[in-house]
C-alpha cells in the first residue's frame, strides 16, 4: 500500500525518480555476476521491474519483495502517526530489502528524537560495544570505557529530555540484535534538522559505492546534493560512511553464525549453492528462455568427479541455475531484466 502511494506522487520534481532514470541508462558488464548491481532494463517505473543483486545468495531479484516493519517508539509518541516514518524512507528500505534474499522479511525501526550530534554519539557507542563485547566479556579497560560512555550519553540525553531515554534505546537495540539478528537496524529521528542512522551488522550488508555513489540525500529540495542536510544517512559512499556495528564477525546473523556471501541458483525456491570451490569446475551455458545446452547434472559431474559450477544465462550472463527446469520456472520473472551486457 505504501509503495503504491509513493508511486502515485508526481515524478517530475522527484530526485529519487531522476536517480532511477540514471540507473536505467547504465549497462552492466558481462563479468558482473558476483558484484552488487541495480538494473532497470524494461517496463515502467514499478518495483517489479527494478532488480538488485542480493549480498547473501547472489540472486538477482526485483524490489517488489514484501516485508514487515516493526516500529519501536516511546509511549509518549502515541499521538504521532508512524506511517510517515516509514513513508519518508521507503526508497531506502526497498533497496536494502532487495539487497537481502533472506533475513529482511522483518525490518526493525527504533524511533527517537535525537539530534545530529546526539545520533553520532549513540552510533559510536554501539559500534564500540558490538566490536568489543558482542562475543562475551571484554578487557577491563574497554569495559570501563563502555560504562563511562554509557553514563555520559545518558546524562546528556536526560538534560535534553529525550524520549526514549538512552537506557531504553540501549536495551531495545541490544535485544533486537541478540534475538532477531537482522542485517541492519534503523535509528529514526523525527527531529526536523536531524537525520536517521542505519546500523549494519556486517560490512557485507553495506551498499556498494560503485552503485549508490550518487544516491539522493533525501532533502525535499530537488536540487540539493549536500550531505549535511540528508534526512537518512544512507551509505552511498560504501564502507567509508557506513555505520558498521562490527567488522570482526562477532555479531551473529540470523542465517548462520558467520556472515558469508554465497552464489546460489537464481530460482527462489532452490537451495543449491555454488561454492567457491565449485566455481573452478565446468560452467554450462543456459539459453535466454529456458533452453540449456551442456550438462544438466546441477552440482556434480560424476564422470570425472569435478564439481559443476552451474548454468549461466546465455543472454545477460548475470545469473546461474542448477538445472533447465529451474531456469524455465524463473523465466517469467527473469525476463523483465534479461538483456545483453555492454561490450
Q: What is the mean pLDDT of residues 50-55?
A: 91
Do 211 and 295 sit in the same domain of this protein? no
Last residue of a domain, one of 244, 279, 294: 244
Do 114 and 169 touch, CB atoms closer than 8 A? no
Do 212 and 129 sit in the same domain of this protein? yes
Domain count, the chain: 2
The answer to whether residue 6 sits within a structural domain is no
Is the pLDDT score of 250 beyond 60?
no
Residue 26 confidence (pLDDT): 85
Do 284 and 189 sit in the same domain of this protein? no
Q: Residue 225 and residue 276: Cα distance in Å, rounded? A: 40
CB half-sphere exposure, 170, CA atoms < 13 A: 19
pLDDT band at 224 (very low <50, low <70, confident <90, very high): low
In three state form, how does the secondary structure of 102-156 look?
CCCCEEEEEEECCCHHHHHHHHHHHHHHHHHHCCCCCCHHHHHHHHHHHHHHHHH
Residue 280 confidence (pLDDT): 42
SS3 of 301, please?
strand
The answer to whether residue 46 sits within a structural domain is no
Q: Residue 208 and residue 248: Cα distance in Å, rounded? A: 19
Q: Pick the more confident residue, 14 or 16.
A: 16
Do 240 and 269 sit in the same domain of this protein? no
Do 109 and 224 sit in the same domain of this protein? yes
Element (H, E) at 244: strand 243-244
Which cell numbers hold the place of 56? 547473501
Do 216 and 227 touch, CB atoms closer than 8 A? no
- Burial bucket for residue 281 (CB in 10 Å: 0-12, 13-18, 19+): middle
pLDDT band at 290 (very low <50, low <70, confident <90, very high): very low
Q: For 75-132, what is each residue's pLDDT tens digit?
A: 887 666 777 778 878 888 999 999 988 878 899 999 999 998 999 999 999 999 988 8
Beta pairing class for 284-286 and 292-293:
antiparallel
Which cell numbers hold the place of 239? 564502507
Do 305 and 170 sit in the same domain of this protein? no
Do 321 and 290 touch, CB atoms closer than 8 A? no
Do 274 and 234 sit in the same domain of this protein? no
Residue 301 confidence (pLDDT): 39
DSSP assigned state of 253: B
Cα–Cα distances (Å) from 190 to 96, 125, 164, 220, in that order, read: 21, 21, 12, 15
Phi and psi of 297, rounded to 5°?
Answer: -75, -20
Is the pLDDT score of 300 beyond 50?
no
Do 52 and 63 touch, CB atoms closer than 8 A? yes
**Residue 76 domain boundaries:** 65-244
Strand partners, 161: none
- State the CB neighbour count (10 A cutoff) for residue 81: 9
**Which of 99, 311, 112, 80 minimizes the C-alpha distance to 196?**
112
How is 73-105 classified by DSSP, letter by letter? --GGGTTS-SHHHHHHTHHHHHHHHHT-SSS-S
pLDDT band at 202 (very low <50, low <70, confident <90, very high): confident
The answer to whether residue 343 sits within a structural domain is no
Last residue of a domain, one of 187, 214, 244: 244
Polymer length in residues for the chain: 343
The answer to whether residue 323 sits within a structural domain is yes
Cβ contacts of 291 within 8 Å, gap of 6 or more: 324
Q: Residue 111 and residue 147: Cα distance in Å, rounded? A: 24
Which cell numbers hold the place of 181? 539478528
Q: Which of 1-10, 47-56, 85-94, 257-266 has the highest mean pLDDT?
A: 47-56
Lowest mean pLDDT among 128-132, 150-154, 186-190, 271-275: 271-275
CB half-sphere exposure, 207, CA atoms < 13 A: 26
Is the pLDDT score of 198 beyond 70?
yes
Evaluated on CA atoms 8, 13, 15, 20, the torsion sign reads positive
Q: Which of 123-137, 138-152, 291-305 has the highest mean pLDDT?
A: 138-152
The answer to whether residue 128 sits within a structural domain is yes
Strand partners, 50: 40
Do 145 and 223 sit in the same domain of this protein? yes
Residue 88 confidence (pLDDT): 78
Last residue of a domain, one of 216, 244, 272: 244
Is the pLDDT score of 134 beyond 80?
no
Do 165 and 273 sit in the same domain of this protein? no
Do 87 and 117 sit in the same domain of this protein? yes
pLDDT cut 70: percent of the chain above it: 78
Is the pLDDT score of 204 beyond 70?
yes
pLDDT cut 90: percent of the chain above it: 33
Is the pLDDT score of 326 beyond 80?
yes
Residue 305 confidence (pLDDT): 45
Do 159 and 281 sit in the same domain of this protein? no
Do 161 and 296 sit in the same domain of this protein? no
Is the pLDDT score of 256 beyond 50?
no
Amino acid at each position: 500500500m505504501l509503495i503504491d502511494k509513493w508511486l502515485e506522487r508526481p515524478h517530475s520534481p522527484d530526485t529519487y525518480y531522476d536517480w532511477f532514470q540514471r540507473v536505467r541508462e547504465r549497462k552492466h558488464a558481462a563479468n558482473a555476476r558476483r558484484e552488487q548491481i541495480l538494473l532497470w532494463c524494461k517496463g515502467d517505473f514499478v518495483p517489479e521491474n527494478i532488480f538488485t543483486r542480493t549480498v547473501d545468495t547472489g540472486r538477482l531479484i526485483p524490489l517488489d519483495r514484501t516485508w514487515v516493519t516493526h516500529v519501536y517508539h516511546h509511549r509518549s509518541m502515541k499521538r504521532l502517526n508512524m506511517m510517515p516514518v516509514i513513508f519518508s524512507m521507503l526508497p531506502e528500505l526497498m533497496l536494502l530489502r532487495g539487497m537481502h534474499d533472506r533475513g529482511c522479511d522483518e525490518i526493525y525501526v527504533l524511533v527517537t528524537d535525537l539530534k545530529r550530534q546526539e545520533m553520532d554519539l549513540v552510533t559510536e557507542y554501539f559500534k564500540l560495544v558490538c566490536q568489543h563485547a558482542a562475543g562475551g566479556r571484554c578487557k577491563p579497560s574497554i569495559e570501563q570505557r563502555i560504562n563511562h560512555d554509557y553514563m555520559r550519553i545518558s546524562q546528556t540525553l536526560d538534560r535534553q529530555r529525550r524520549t526514549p531515554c538512552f537506557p531504553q534505546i540501549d536495551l531495545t537495540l541490544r535485544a533486537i540484535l541478540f534475538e532477531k539478528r537482522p542485517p541492519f537496524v534503523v535509528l529514526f529521528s523525527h527531529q526536523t534538522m536531524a537525520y536517521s542512522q542505519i546500523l549494519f551488522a556486517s560490512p557485507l550488508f553495506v551498499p556498494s559505492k560503485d552503485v549508490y555513489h550518487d544516491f539522493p540525500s533525501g532533502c525535499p529540495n530537488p536540487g540539493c546534493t549536500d550531505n549535511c542536510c540528508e534526512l537518512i544517512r544512507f551509505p552511498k559512499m560504501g564502507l567509508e560512511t557506513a555505520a558498521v556495528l562490527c567488522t570482526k564477525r562477532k555479531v551473529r546473523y540470523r542465517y548462520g553464525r558467520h556472515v558469508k556471501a554465497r552464489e546460489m541458483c537464481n530460482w527462489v525456491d532452490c537451495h543449491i549453492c555454488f561454492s567457491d570451490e565449485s566455481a573452478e569446475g565446468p560452467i554450462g551455458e543456459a539459453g535466454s528462455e529456458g533452453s540449456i545446452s551442456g550438462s544438466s547434472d546441477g552440482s556434480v559431474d560424476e564422470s570425472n568427479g569435478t564439481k559443476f559450477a552451474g548454468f549461466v544465462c546465455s543472454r545477460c550472463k548475470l545469473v546461474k541455475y542448477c538445472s533447465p527446469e529451474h531456469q524455465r520456472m524463473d523465466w517469467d520473472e527473469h525476463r523483465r531484466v534479461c538483456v545483453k551486457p555492454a561490450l
